[in-house]
A and B are shown apart, each in its own frame.
Chain A
Amino acid sequence: MDSYQFTIWILILPFVAFLVTGVLNGKLSPTISAGISIAAIALVTALSYFTAISYFFLNSAESYEAIQAASVTWLRLTDTLIIDMGIIIDPISAMMLVVISTVSLMVHIYSTGYMKGEDGYARYFTFLSLFSFAMLGLVLATNLMQIYIFWELVGVSSFLLIGYYYKKPTAIAAAKKAFIVTRFADLGFLIGILLLSYYTGTFNFMEITNPEGALISNPIAGTFMGFSVMTWALVLIFIGGAGKSAMFPFHVWLPDAMEGPTPVSALIHAATMVVAGVYLVGRMFSVYALAAPEALEVVAFIGAFTSLFAAVIAIVQTDIKKVLAYSTISQLGYMMLALGISGYGAEAGLGFTASMFHLFTHAFFKALLFLGAGSIIHAVHSNEMKDMGNLRKHLPSTHLTFLIATLAIAGIPPLSGFFSKDEILAAAWQANKLYFAVEYLVAGLTAFYMFRLYFRVFWGQERKYDHIHESPASMTVPLWILAIGAVFAGFLPFSHLVTSDGQPFDTHFHWSIALASVGIALIGILSANALYRKESDKSAKIRASLGGLYVLVDNKFYMDEFYLFVTKKIIFRYITSSAAWFDKHIVDGLMNLIGNVTMAISVRSRNFQSGNVHQYAMVFLTGLLLIVMVYFYFNPN
């Protein structure tokens, strides 16, 4: 128990870095600020690897138990309802530590090159440190309340980083949108937490998720609108997760969030924050699986739908970062689906393991893709694919690493994406053939749109570039390091490490599924090759033949317009403006009316009575009489 107490430093270090760079902003030179942040995250990375290695490999026990490494009583609401602040070490949090610290460190280093000379260079690193602190705190949280606090903190730091280019109106709009959409989803999360804690009297994960614990062996009784209260609570919590993980219908913020600096997109919107929702469901998984399978069905359905939905949109995007954003949404859908179809227990929990596995490998290759995209954008100063082409000659390192990541996400063996995707497909095959079919299709689409991106950027026609050159070593070295992860991460024996109940089990390699998935990936790649490797009008023809369908997809199924319609046209128009109308016409009108009446009655009072105070007193009295009347009407005694 005590042996993991040092993990507290994983939280302290980035927080101190944030405080120091934040408070001394403007006093320290930007380079020193960046240095402090990087030093802190490097130490955290070392500690995280040490934690993970000692937890997974130097552990003599048969299975992996959750360990409460630190705990402080923080608030005592009642004698039984106590909120702690602490650190939990279990397979998924240890895994997440590795993911977050690695990607974060890479992004920190990469940013020294990418952000060079930008305004507010030091501020950027301050926010990065804050984000790292919040994200690490989120995965290490021991209870629902703590996770909620860090959850919001992550949201705030994401808000700050998306809006980093605060002079750009689109960036500001995107930051606002991300914040509001996720906050809205968080409302569900908060209500879910309150419901659960009200019935269980605890926030602690160790107690809530214990399969023999009070909650699971004796789920909350009572139903509401056909589902048990338990199901409702878990669905609400999932809504919170769906907001952060950009599941349909909360996905709208993520593509817009690409307005932030590209390294931020790599860190927050590809590898860490967006998987928080998946992590949350994973963290509560035993409750979902054992106490409310209906809630899990919701998770599976939303996951499957989102993955297909986003993959279709990704095909037509022309902004390189937007393609990656939709691809991220699609892959997150994959992870959610895998959780949703999983059962609890060793073999039955294949989906759980597959989901976490995919989360792990995806972090590497998606961060790599984003950083690669950053390198491209850095070179050509544009996000649009039409400004790019034949870049493999100019950016050799970026090209190679990008190709590795693209192959990995497409699921080509022996790269990491192949293994994790294969496990998800296998789990889907066992659970539900329909979901399998959807995911199989999405696998093909993924290969297609990723290679469309790849071919259009690195092959095709040469464009006019000025001063194009490969990015500096500070940017290419992180690319190569992540590429190593993207290649080899798949070889980890994940089913021995991260399982739904902590018991390791053996997976079998599913030859038929593997072959089939490689097959569809190749079909996707080849068709992308045929359409996009050389500039031609083939794709335009296809586009033309699709007609309205293309327009629909190109406009992202009009989801943004739908939300705008609901908020602007309905909420703002009918609620806010009705309040304004009420104020303008009824209140002011009443005031004028009283003023007029007063004037007519008394000429003398005209000069010093505006009627205002009269009206106030009248409303006071009317309200009072209303209360009295309502009361006596309903309480005849």
Chain B
Amino acid sequence: MDKEALILFFLSAIAIVGIGMLLSWLVAPKSKNIQKKEAYECGIPTVGSSYMQFRVGYYLFAIIFLIFDVETVFIFPWAVVMKSMGMTAFIEIIIFFGILGLGLLYAWKKNALRWD
């Protein structure tokens, strides 16, 4: 019995994805030209290939930003239960901040925050 359910499950999964792709392929207008392969640079004519090297600093900043951004997500639930848990929760968040701060310090010390 449940084997059929499983097969049905897979078939429908494939169908949903497949139909969607098929539809978009059918509906979408197709045009091939050289411009399509160029990098997007807000309207002005592009210079050189789109396969160019980006400064790695972009990524470093992006990642560090992302990390600290995501960490704040953890603080919200903490804030909700802070009152009921009392001191334990406070100590825990201090440790959490400590480690977070240490991470920032580490990034700083390793010159990850310097642009040049």
- A residues near B, CB below 8 A? 604, 607, 632, 636-637
> Which residues of chain B have C-beta atoms less than 8 A from A637's C-beta?
3
B59 at the interface (CB under 8 A from A): no
Distance in Å: Cβ of A60 to nearest Cβ of chain B: 79
- The CA of A607 and the CA of B37, in the complex, are separated in Å by 14
* Residues in B49-72 with C-beta less than 8 Å from chain A: 51
Q: Is the interface of B mostly helix, strand, loop or mixed?
A: helix
Chain A residues with CB below 8 A from B37, complex form: 604
Q: Are B51 and A607 in contact (CB under 8 A)?
A: yes
B37 (CB) vs chain A CBs: closest residue:
A604
Assess the B3–A636 pair: CB atoms within 8 A.
Answer: yes
Are B51 and A632 touching (Cβ within 8 A)?
Answer: no
Secondary structure at the A interface, as helix, strand, loop or mixed, is: helix
CA distance A286 to B37 in the complex (A): 87
Chain B residues positioned under 8 Å from A632 (CB to CB): 3
- Give the residue name and chain of the A residue nearest to B2 (CB): A637
CA distance A604 to B37 in the complex (A): 9
Q: How far is the CA of A607 from the CA of B50 in the complex (A)?
A: 13
The complex places the Cα of A596 from the Cα of B42 at a distance, in Å, of 34
A449 to B3 CA separation, bound complex (whole angstroms): 78
Determine the residue in chain A with the shortest Cβ distance to B51. A607
By a CB distance below 8 angstroms, the chain A residues around B51 are 607
B residues in contact with A604, CB < 8 Å: 37
Top 5 closest A-B pairs, CB basis? A632-B3, A607-B51, A637-B3, A604-B37, A636-B3
Nearest residue (CB) in B for A607 is B51
Task: For the complex, give the distance between the alpha carbons of A604 and B51 in Å.
Answer: 10
Contact with A along B30-49 (1 / 0, CB 8 A): 00000001000000000000
Alpha-carbon distance between A607 and B3 when the two chains are bound, in angstroms = 44
Nearest-Cβ distance from residue A603 to partner chain B, whole angstroms:
8
B residues near A636, Cβ cutoff 8 Å:
3
* Nearest-Cβ distance from residue A420 to partner chain B, whole angstroms: 74
Residue of chain A at shortest CB distance from B6: A632
Nearest A residue (CB) for B50: A604
- State the CA gap A607–B51 with chains docked (Å): 10
| Set of chain B residues within 8 Å of A607, measured between Cβ atoms | 51
Considering the chains assembled together, what is the distance between the CA atoms of A636 and B51 in angstroms?
53
Instruction: Return the chain B residue nearest A637 by Cβ.
Output: B3
Across the interface, name the chain B residue whose C-beta is closest to A636: B3
Report Cα–Cα, A366/B37, bound state, in Å.
87
A–B Cβ pairs within 8 angstroms, 5 of them: A604-B37, A607-B51, A632-B3, A636-B3, A637-B3
Q: How far is the CB of A533 from chain B (nearest CB, A)?
A: 89
- Give A142 to B51 CA distance when docked, in angstroms: 75
Measured CB to CB, the nearest residue on chain A to B1 is: A637
Tell me the residues in window 3-20 of chain B with beta carbons closer than 8 Å to chain A beta carbons: 3
A637 to B5: give the CA distance in the assembly, Å: 12
Tell me the complex Cα distance, A636–B6, Å.
13
Which B residue sits closest to A603, measured CB to CB? B37
Complex Cα–Cα for A561 and B25 (A): 67
Shortest Cβ distance from A605 into chain B, in angstroms?
12
CA A637 – CA B2 in complex, angstroms?
Answer: 8
- In angstroms, how far is the closest chain B Cβ from the Cβ of A551? 69
Q: Which residue of B lies closest to A635 (CB)?
A: B3
Closest CB of chain A to B39's CB: distance in Å? 12
Cα A632 to Cα B2 in complex, Å, equals: 12
Bound-complex Cα distance A604 to B3 (A):
42
Closest Cβ of chain B: how far from A106's Cβ, in Å? 72
A607, B49: Cα distance in complex, Å: 13
CA distance A201 to B58 in the complex (A): 69
Q: Which residue on chain B has the smallest CB distance to residue A632?
A: B3
Minimum C-beta distance from A181 to chain B (A): 53
Give the complex CA separation of A457 and B51 in angstroms: 84
| Distance A148 CA – B47 CA, assembled complex (angstroms) | 76
Docked Cα-Cα span, A632 to B10, in Å, equals: 14
Q: Which residues of A are found within 8 Å of B3, using beta-carbon distances?
A: 632, 636-637
Query: CA–CA, A636 to B37, complex, Å?
Result: 51
Q: Once bound together, how far apart are the Cα atoms of A554 and B35, in whole Å?
A: 83
A636 to B2, CA, bound (A): 11
Bound-complex Cα distance A406 to B109 (A): 87
CB distance from A339 to the nearest CB of B (A): 62
Query: How far, in angstroms, from A274 to B37 measured CA to CA in the complex?
Result: 78
Cα A328 to Cα B51 with chains together (Å): 77
Nearest-neighbour CB distance to chain B for A355, whole angstroms, equals: 66
* Least Cβ–Cβ distance between B93 and chain A, in angstroms: 41
Expressed in whole angstroms, the minimum distance between the Cβ of B30 and any Cβ of chain A is 16
A632-B7 Cα distance, complex, nearest whole Å: 11
Report the minimal beta-carbon distance from A185 to chain B, rounded to whole angstroms: 50
Question: What's the minimum C-beta distance from A59 to chain B, rounded to whole angstroms?
Answer: 75
* Mask: chain B, 72-98; 1 = CB below 8 Å from A; 0 = not: 000000000000000000000000000
